[in-house]
Amino acid sequence: MIAENLHRIEQEIQESCALVSRNPEDITMVAVTKSVDSNAANELVELGVTDLAENRVDKLLEKKQSLSQNQQIKWHLIGNLQRRKVKLIINEIDYFHALDSLRLAQEIQKRAEHQINCFIEVNVSGEESKHGIQPKELPSFIEELEGLDKINVIGLMTMAPYEASQQEVRDIFSTLKRLQESMKKLNLQYAPCTELSMGMSQDFKTAIEEGATFVRIGTALFRKG
């Protein structure tokens, strides 16, 4: 079942790319394994998936431990991170998708032994329940990160509200794309801002059409039937 789902998703990624003349190689499919056990995660890895994500620190450490024979895996932390947990996780991951405060960035700077690829999470939709900084705060937030040499701001991340219409979702993703391009134009060495982490099971096609380079897919990989 996982193999079939993966195959279908890869096909859909290609179709979405074709629609807007993008190269599928520019899209990284990050498999979100938060709802499954290590066996299912391992199955994905054996099928060739290289990027795995969890939204909780303890769960990521657990999975990484049980898949430890595979050094090829890139680990993504996609959920919000409490400062007191930074030291437990920061040297175990390759990507962090939810940077949203200076204090968190300072803690990462203090604990990281290598540079961490970070996405700044932006709350484009304005939903109160969502994490992330406001779009208008983005330029000043990025400015504040100057000098924190453990933080490499590779791009921006957002989530569309679950109940949003397709047009609303599209507007949110295209707004994030505009923000990303304006940050990229600043040509900051510590914030190349070339990447966009957006799109989940229900909206990754729209996200790819609007410029996503990392899609975070959970449910659609593990659905039965």
Ligand X SMILES: *Cc1c(COP(=O)(O)O)cnc(C)c1O
Residues 6 or more apart from 173 whose CB is under 8 A from it?
Answer: 158, 160, 198, 199, 203, 206, 207, 210, 211, 212
Q: Least distance from C-beta 188 to ligand X, angstroms?
A: 25
Residues of span 204-223 touching ligand X by CB under 6 A = 216-220
Query: Residue 78, interface with ligand X (CB under 6 A)?
Result: yes
Tell me the window of 37-45, 147-155, 166-174, 194-202 that interacts with ligand X (CB under 6 A): 194-202
Query: Residue 34, interface with ligand X (CB under 6 A)?
Result: yes
DSSP 79: S
Which residue, 59 or 144, is less far from ligand X as judged by CB?
59
Q: Name which of 3, 53, 64, 8 is nearest 28 in CA terms.
A: 53
**Which of 27, 79, 148, 160 is close enough to bind ligand X by CB under 6 A?**
79
Q: Least distance from C-beta 197 to ligand X, angstroms?
A: 8
Query: Residue 8, interface with ligand X (CB under 6 A)?
Result: no
Query: Residue 91, interface with ligand X (CB under 6 A)?
Result: no
Element housing 171 (H / E): helix 166-184
d(CA 105, CA 190): 13
Q: Least distance from C-beta 12 to ligand X, angstroms?
A: 13
**Which of 13, 29, 31, 32 is close enough to bind ligand X by CB under 6 A?**
32
Query: Residue 50, interface with ligand X (CB under 6 A)?
Result: no
Q: Can you point out the beta strands (E) in the chain?
A: 28-32, 51-54, 74-77, 95-99, 116-121, 151-157, 195-197, 214-217
d(CA 106, CA 154): 17
Q: Least distance from C-beta 215 to ligand X, angstroms?
A: 9
Binding site for ligand X (CB under 6 A): 32, 34, 55, 78-79, 159, 200-202, 216-220
